[in-house]
Amino acid sequence: MAAADSPSTALRRRDLCSRGIRLAGKMRADVVDLLDTYVEQQGLDASASVAAVEGVPLAAVERWDEQTGTQRLLENLAAYRAFRALLAQMLEEQREQLGEADAGLGRALAAVLLQVSAFAYHLEELLRLESRGIPGEEGDGPPPPPRLSLFEQKLRGLGVLRELAQWAVRSARDLRQLAKPSPATGTAPGLAESP
Amino acid sequence: MFSRWNWVACGFCLVLNICSPDASGGLVQSCGHIIPESPVLALGSNFTALCILNESCLDFGNIYANQIIWKIKNRVVPKEQYHEINRTVSSVTFNDTSSLATPLTCNILADGQIEQNIYGITVTVGLAPEKPKNLSCIVHQMSRFTYVMNCTWNPGRHTFLDTQFRLRYSWPEELFPDCIPKGVNNSCTVTDIQFFVNTVIWVEAENALGKAESDPLVVDPIDIVKPLSPRNVSVSSGILPTVLKLSWENWISDAVMTLKFNIRYRIIGDTNWMEVPSEDTASRRTSFSVQGLRPYTEYVFSIRCMKEDGVGYWSDWSEEKTGITTEDQPSEGPSIWRIIDESHSPASWTVHLMWKALKPFEANGVILQYEVTVRDKSSLSCPLKKYNVTSTNYTLQLPKGTYEVTLIARNGVGASPPSVLLIPESNSKAPVKNLRTLPKHDKLWVGWTAPNSYVLKYVIEWCLVSSSSDCIIEWQIALGDVEGIDLKGIKPFKCYLITVYPLYADGQGSGQSVKAYLKQDRPSKGPTVQTKKVGKAEAVLTWNHLTVEEQNGFIRNYTILYKTIDGNETVVTVDPSKTEYTLSSLTSDTLYTVRMMASTDNGSRTGPDFTFTTQKFGKGEIEAIVVPVCLAFLLIVLLGVLFCFNKRDLIKKHIWPIVPDPSKSNIAQWSPQVPAKHNFNSKDQMYPEGSFTDVSVVEIEADNKKSFSEQDLKPFDLLKKEKSTSEGHSSGIGGSSCMSSPRQSVSDSDEGETTQNTSSTVQYSTVVLNGYRDQTPVQVFSRSESTQPLLDSEERSEDHAGGADSTVQRQQYFRQNGGQDETNTDRPCFERTKQITHANEGDLVGFVQLQVSGQSSQPLGLGMEKNTQEAALSNVLQTCTEGQAVRPETVEENPLSVDDMPKSYLPQTVRQGGYMPQ
């Protein structure tokens, strides 16, 4: 984090954090709503337990309150970039499966995808304010997932959405942490706050 | 010649060349073309076009660039704008494209002045798009999860060209699909809106002449949201009577935005909204308790919301919901007043108590009943009297005295504070002063000056004054510290009687009254004027006051307008209290038209016209004329009577001469022979001369005949002149004339016409031809015009047409004449003669009594001879009998007794030359 924020930078960061927090909140609400729709549309059980999906970053983290702001931003950025790819793949698969028959689900997925993209943009902007380089996206992106069966695709989609909902909560807390004024040098981690 | 044919051939070839199909191109091969092809030009710019001729046309058509003519829509472009670049290219330049039109053609003026079109282009002139301005966007919430963003902008001037507008928006790393307006060029709606990311929004306008972009609008769509108004609004009453709880649901989730609210409410039926303070509802919530409401009042609520931070737009107001607060005990006691009727008994009152129903905000519920308590303050021992009343008035019969009336209104929750009214025995306290009114729009302000004493409150009574119904009193109570109130519900153009009573703690002041109008108008009709009395130069006009309904205001004055038919109108203003006025200085015997006008402050109204005619004579003038005339007449009559009275003997002498009774004449006494009968001749019995059978004959000396033959006719002329009214001469019908021939005189009386109108007159002629006895007879013809009804018997005989009555008639005749009985029918004549003779005793020698017959042309006399003397005498007699009552019937009714009747009365001897006025 920059040693001394200019007032405009601080204002900009506060604005980005505030907006990111609200976006994360809306994203969570939308994802929750989308989960219901998705479960219903895909014929899944809402209580179905889904194992960790490969390529999906986990929101849960140990020593969360010990993370620095930059670290938080980087983890969030990585996660949302992954979600962006996963959601785009889900959207494509959903179109292939249902065509235009369920445009509502497709629009909802697209909306969430947009929000994920927007949140990633917020994170990148915050990193720029932190005078940190933005890590480039990995070349061609993550390795293409193995070919999955249709049911496995549905389960993976359910897992992506559930994890995204978790990440939305965590991201809001991370940004709140970042929005708080730095205690001293700015290199110190943010205040401890349990997710 | 050859040259001409050559040109014709070339022209033909040219046409063929132009029109012949081109194997490589279209159907027509043009001899040239224009550059640029169909340009789009900016309005007001300059423009140059080139017309390039094909080389082939040069050879065959022998045409060159200098022959090119430019035309704009059939209008030749001035050659000054041409420029021949080379022999195949001609240019034209326009400094201002606004003068251009479509099409722009390039033409050739071929030989023979034939104008041939080479090529044409379409020129489009327009404007480049302006930069769109005033871009603004609103995100409308359509449903719980659906938001659309509608952006509007000002597209700028009209470009005259097809201009595309596009709304573009993007994130820093992502460009969204453009929004293309449909049917409009100033707005577009975006459906996929993502919040919490700053979005760059701008508008692009593009046409053939250029492209323009608006300034970018960078906004997070969440900051321009207009949310849906809260739904499922409900109102519930709480425990407190002044609180209502408002509940609702929000459309928008807290994750998207937190909301603040705005609550408004009003009493149903009222139009003014009240708002809950915004700071009370500036946080997220789904319910709110509105406090400070009126008990038992129905309220209408509505709510709206917007983003909590105030960035964005308020939603529309929600649907209205109503709720009623619960009841509370009445907050005020009813206003109470009384009307006291003292007319029934001098010792007691009829007290009409009346009070006003509490207003809803005072009643705080449904008033179930009123409790009236009356306490006689003049008698401490008198118990309280309580009455429970459900209406708003109550009538009591009370002895005169001082009373205290207490009124309580009670609803389902409790009772109101008591209202107390003191009814003193007399209103002995000081009244208000300077009571006045002033209209204020639709209210009537009543003001007064307070008395010096402290006044608890004032009671203002008012009622609509009507001529047809009683004054229905309305009233209102004002606090004691005010000196004026506004009366509501006052109708314009109506008269109100307003009375103000001051109420003191220990009594009441007398009422002061004033009449007032809220608004005045001119009277609805004018007074009807009429005359009470009309004289020669004055007229008393009367009229009735207009009824209060007709006045429409205070009558300030009456105006009398009167005029003659052709005269100027005279105007008289009369005090409004009067109902009578006397017009003076009028012209006599003149028709006047009068009308009357009543005036208020706001106008006048004229009544109907009334006409009257002044009299020709004034009062007493006729009396002044008639009375003296009558008196003069009476005086003349009186004088005449007195004169006549004084001269009565003379008058009587001339008018009523004494008719001598022949039966009492002297000649009757001495005549040796009294005719047994004498009768009148009938018409058809003519007796020849000397056929007298029953005649008393008095000898008359024959030598005297001549002496009165002519000269004695003169008196008959005199008689003719003087007639019967001649004073002193009428009776002197010329005895002398008769003296000539008594027989003639008798015969002359037979002329019928002379006797028609002399029925009541008996004429006697006495001819005295001889001296009496030894005296020298005096020729006297004595005539009597007496109207003495000697011949009444003749009148009565009219009824007896038969000859059998002739005897009776005759008897009556002679009875009347002489009063003799039948057996001595001749005597009356002679008796009468005797009377005359007696009156002229010694002078009368004889007489001939003539009875003039009415219609008979036969002489009544006996042995009449028809000679000239007879005729003359007859004429005289006719004249004499004019105007005298001669009964013709006396002749006609005795035809049967003609044989028995004497044919004539013989003249009797009268002293020669004498004349005896009778």
Give which of A80, A142, A87 is closest to A113, Cα–Cα.
Answer: A87
Q: Which of A23, A107, A110 is opposite residue B196, by nearest beta carbon?
A: A23
**Nearest residue on chain B to A108, judged by CA atoms?**
B145
CATH class of B529-621: mainly beta
When mean pLDDT is compared over A112-121, B55-64, B812-821, B847-856, the highest value belongs to A112-121
Quickly state the pLDDT bin for B343 (edges 50, 70, 90): confident
pLDDT(B510) > 70: yes
Q: Do A117 and B171 touch (CB under 8 A)?
A: yes
Q: Which pLDDT score is estimated for B807?
A: 41
Strand ranges of the sheet holding B580-583, from the earlier edge strand across to the other edge: B529-534, B539-543, B580-583
Q: Do B197 and A118 touch (CB under 8 A)?
A: yes
From the options 3.60.21.10, 1.20.210.10, 2.60.40.10, 1.25.40.80, give the CATH code of B336-517. 2.60.40.10
- Express each pLDDT in B643-652 by its tens digit: 888 887 777 7
- Express each pLDDT in B569-593 by its tens digit: 889 999 999 999 998 888 888 899 9
| Strand residues in B268-347 grouped as ranges (E) | 274-275, 287-290, 298-307, 321-324, 336-341
The hierarchical CATH code for the domain A11-44+79-132 is 1.20.1250.10
Which distant-in-sequence residues (6+ apart) come within 8 Å of A92 by Cβ? none
Q: Which of A25, A114, A124 is opposite residue B194, by nearest beta carbon?
A: A114
Let me know the angle formed at the C-alpha of B146 by B184 and B312, rounded to the nearest 5 degrees.
75
Give the residues of chain A that fall short of pLDDT 70.
Answer: 1-5, 52-53, 98-102, 138-146, 181-195
Shortest distance, CA B137 to any CA of chain A (angstroms):
19
CA B39 to chain centre: 83
Which of the pair, A42 or B511, is modelled with greater confidence?
B511
Residues of B in contact with A30 (CB under 8 A): 145, 255
Asked if A23 has any chain B CB less than 8 Å from its own CB, the reply is yes
Lowest mean pLDDT among B72-86, B272-286, B549-563: B72-86
The hierarchical CATH code for the domain B32-126 is 2.60.40.10
% of chain B surpassing 90 pLDDT:
31
Residues of B in contact with A126 (CB under 8 A): none
Quote the radius of gyration of chain A (alpha carbons, Å): 18
Quickly state the pLDDT bin for B846 (edges 50, 70, 90): very low
**Average pLDDT of span B900-910:** 43
Q: Do A23 and B197 touch (CB under 8 A)?
A: yes
First-to-last C-alpha distance (Å) of chain A? 22
Q: With left for phi above 0 and alpha for psi between -120 and 50, is residue B380 left, alpha or beta?
A: alpha
Return the structure tokens found at B447.
Answer: 């003001």
Shortest distance, CA A112 to any CA of chain B (angstroms):
9
Which of the pair, B526 or B895, is modelled with greater confidence?
B526
Lowest mean pLDDT among A121-125, B379-383, B445-449: B379-383
Asked if A33 has any chain B CB less than 8 Å from its own CB, the reply is yes
SS3 B281: helix
Q: What is the largest CA-CA distance in chain B?
A: 199
> What are residue A113's phi and psi, to 5 degrees?
-60, -40
Residue pair B17/B57 in contact (Cβ under 8 Å)? The answer is: yes
> What are residue B655's phi and psi, to 5 degrees?
-95, -40
Residue pair B614/B535 in contact (Cβ under 8 Å)? The answer is: yes
> What are residue B724's phi and psi, to 5 degrees?
-80, -25
Q: Which pLDDT score is estimated for A114?
A: 86
**Average pLDDT of span B388-402:** 90
Q: Which pLDDT score is estimated for B632?
A: 92
Q: Which pLDDT score is estimated for B60?
A: 64
Sketch the domain layout of chain B as residue ranges.
32-126, 133-219, 227-324, 336-517, 529-621
Shortest distance, CA A149 to any CA of chain B (angstroms):
32
Q: What is the DSSP string of chain A?
A: --SS--HHHHHHHHHHHHHHHHHHHHHHHHHHHHHHHHHHHHT--TT---PPPTTPPPS--TTGGG--HHHHHHHHHHHHHHHHHHHHHHHHHHHHHHTTTTHHHHHHHHHHHHHHHHHHHHHHHHHHHTT-PPPPP-TT-SPPPPP--HHHHHHHHHHHHHHHHHHHHHHHHHHHHHHSPPSSSS-SPPPP---
Asked if B617 has any chain A CB less than 8 Å from its own CB, the reply is no
Question: Cβ of B791: how many Cβ atoms within 10 Å?
Answer: 23
- Express each pLDDT in B159-196 by its tens digit: 888 899 999 998 877 788 899 999 899 999 998 788 88
Residues of B in contact with A122 (CB under 8 A): 196-197
Threshold 0.90, pTM exceeds: no
Asked if B308 has any chain A CB less than 8 Å from its own CB, the reply is no
Best probe of the A interface among B169, B171, B196, by most A CBs < 10 A, is B196
Lowest mean pLDDT among B167-176, B237-246, B317-326, B414-423: B167-176
Q: What length does chain B have? A: 918
- Express each pLDDT in B750-763 by its tens digit: 444 444 444 444 44
Question: Cβ of B62: how many Cβ atoms within 10 Å?
Answer: 15
Which of the pair, A2 or B302, is modelled with greater confidence?
B302
Q: Do B192 and A110 touch (CB under 8 A)?
A: yes
Lowest mean pLDDT among A12-21, B460-469, B904-913: B904-913
State ipTM.
Answer: 0.78
Asked if B183 has any chain A CB less than 8 Å from its own CB, the reply is no
Shortest distance, CA B215 to any CA of chain A (angstroms):
22
Q: With left for phi above 0 and alpha for psi between -120 and 50, is residue B46 left, alpha or beta?
A: beta
Which of the pair, B655 or B226, is modelled with greater confidence?
B226
Sketch the domain layout of chain A as residue ranges.
11-44+79-132
Q: Do domains B133-219 and B529-621 have the same CATH topology?
A: yes
Which distant-in-sequence residues (6+ apart) come within 8 Å of B449 by Cβ? B432, B433, B434, B483
Q: Do A115 and B255 touch (CB under 8 A)?
A: no
Shortest distance, CA B167 to any CA of chain A (angstroms):
19
Interatomic CA distance for residues B534 and B706, integer angstroms: 83
pLDDT(B10) > 80: no
Residue pair B907/B741 in contact (Cβ under 8 Å)? The answer is: no
Give the DSSP letter of residue B912. B
Q: Do A26 and B196 touch (CB under 8 A)?
A: yes
Q: Do A22 and B253 touch (CB under 8 A)?
A: no
Asked if A19 has any chain B CB less than 8 Å from its own CB, the reply is yes
First-to-last C-alpha distance (Å) of chain B? 172
Q: Which pLDDT score is estimated for A135?
A: 78
Omega cis (within 30) before B523: no
Interatomic CA distance for residues B410 and B389, integer angstroms: 11
Q: Do A117 and B198 touch (CB under 8 A)?
A: no
Residues of B in contact with A33 (CB under 8 A): 145
Output the 3-class SS for B840-881: CCCCCECCCCCCCCCCCCCCCCCCCCCCHHHHHHHHHHHHHH
- Express each pLDDT in B691-716 by its tens digit: 444 444 444 444 444 444 444 444 44
- Write out residues 69-128 of A within 8 Å (CB-CB) of B: 107, 110-111, 114-115, 117-118, 121-122, 124-125
Asked if A30 has any chain B CB less than 8 Å from its own CB, the reply is yes
Asked if B195 has any chain A CB less than 8 Å from its own CB, the reply is yes
- Give the CATH architecture of domain B227-324: Sandwich (2.60)
Residue pair B308/B278 in contact (Cβ under 8 Å)? The answer is: no
Quickly state the pLDDT bin for B217 (edges 50, 70, 90): very high
Which distant-in-sequence residues (6+ apart) come within 8 Å of B20 by Cβ? B29
**Nearest residue on chain A to B252, judged by CA atoms?**
A26
Give which of B896, B859, B499 is closest to B692, Cα–Cα.
Answer: B859
Residue pair B833/B827 in contact (Cβ under 8 Å)? The answer is: no
Residue pair A28/B196 in contact (Cβ under 8 Å)? The answer is: no
Q: What length does chain A have? A: 195
Q: Which pLDDT score is estimated for A183?
A: 55
Q: Which pLDDT score is estimated for B694?
A: 46
The hierarchical CATH code for the domain B133-219 is 2.60.40.10
Q: Do B256 and A29 touch (CB under 8 A)?
A: yes
Q: CA B358 → CA A110, B269, B324, B369, B419, distances in Å?
A: 66, 18, 18, 12, 12
Counting Cβ atoms within 10 Å, is residue B718 exposed (0-12), middle (13-18) or buried (19+)?
middle
Render the burial of B455-482: b for 16+ CB within 10 Å, e for the rest: bbebbbbbbbeeeeeeeeeebbbbebee
**Nearest residue on chain B to A27, judged by CA atoms?**
B255
Q: What is the DSSP string of A56-88?
A: PPPS--TTGGG--HHHHHHHHHHHHHHHHHHHH
Which distant-in-sequence residues (6+ apart) come within 8 Å of B326 by Cβ? B237, B238, B239, B240, B241, B295, B296
Q: Do B194 and A30 touch (CB under 8 A)?
A: no
Shortest distance, CA A20 to any CA of chain B (angstroms):
7
Q: Which pLDDT score is estimated for B695?
A: 47
Residue pair B235/B245 in contact (Cβ under 8 Å)? The answer is: yes
Residue pair B779/B769 in contact (Cβ under 8 Å)? The answer is: yes
Quickly state the pLDDT bin for B369 (edges 50, 70, 90): very high
Residues of A in contact with B192 (CB under 8 A): 107, 110-111, 114
Q: Which pLDDT score is estimated for B516?
A: 92
- Express each pLDDT in B248-262 by its tens digit: 999 888 778 889 999
Asked if A25 has any chain B CB less than 8 Å from its own CB, the reply is yes
Shortest distance, CA B295 to any CA of chain A (angstroms):
43
Shortest distance, CA B255 to any CA of chain A (angstroms):
5
Asked if B205 has any chain A CB less than 8 Å from its own CB, the reply is no
Q: CA A119 → CA A16, A21, A108, A194, distances in Å?
A: 10, 9, 16, 21
Asked if B495 has any chain A CB less than 8 Å from its own CB, the reply is no
Which of the pair, B316 or B755, is modelled with greater confidence?
B316
Interatomic CA distance for residues B183 and B163, integer angstroms: 12
Shortest distance, CA B294 to any CA of chain A (angstroms):
42
Q: Do A23 and B173 touch (CB under 8 A)?
A: no
Give which of B14, B227, B178, B214 is closest to B111, Cα–Cα.
Answer: B14
SS3 B115: strand
Q: Which of B174, B192, B196 is opposite residue A22, by nearest beta carbon?
A: B196
The amino acid present at B558, given as its one-letter code, is Y
The amino acid present at B88, given as its one-letter code, is T
Which of the pair, B310 or B733, is modelled with greater confidence?
B310
Residues of B in contact with A121 (CB under 8 A): 171-174, 197
Q: Do B196 and A20 touch (CB under 8 A)?
A: yes
> What are residue B310's phi and psi, to 5 degrees?
80, 5
Side-chain half-sphere exposure of B915, counting CA atoms within 13 A? 17
Return the structure tokens found at B27.
Answer: 């159907």
Q: Pairing relation of β-strands B187-190 and B199-207?
A: unpaired
Interatomic CA distance for residues A169 and A162, integer angstroms: 11
Q: Do B172 and A33 touch (CB under 8 A)?
A: no
Asked if A65 has any chain B CB less than 8 Å from its own CB, the reply is no
Output the 3-class SS for B885-911: CECCHHHHCCCCCCCCCCCCCCCCECE
% of chain B surpassing 70 pLDDT:
69
Give which of B127, B108, B48 is closest to B82, Cα–Cα.
Answer: B48
Shortest distance, CA A87 to any CA of chain B (angstroms):
16
Give the DSSP letter of residue B375. E
Quickly state the pLDDT bin for B316 (edges 50, 70, 90): very high
pLDDT(B7) > 60: no
CB pairs under 8 A between A and B: 54
Let me know the angle formed at the C-alpha of B647 by B643 and B651, rounded to the nearest 5 degrees.
115
Q: Do B196 and A30 touch (CB under 8 A)?
A: no
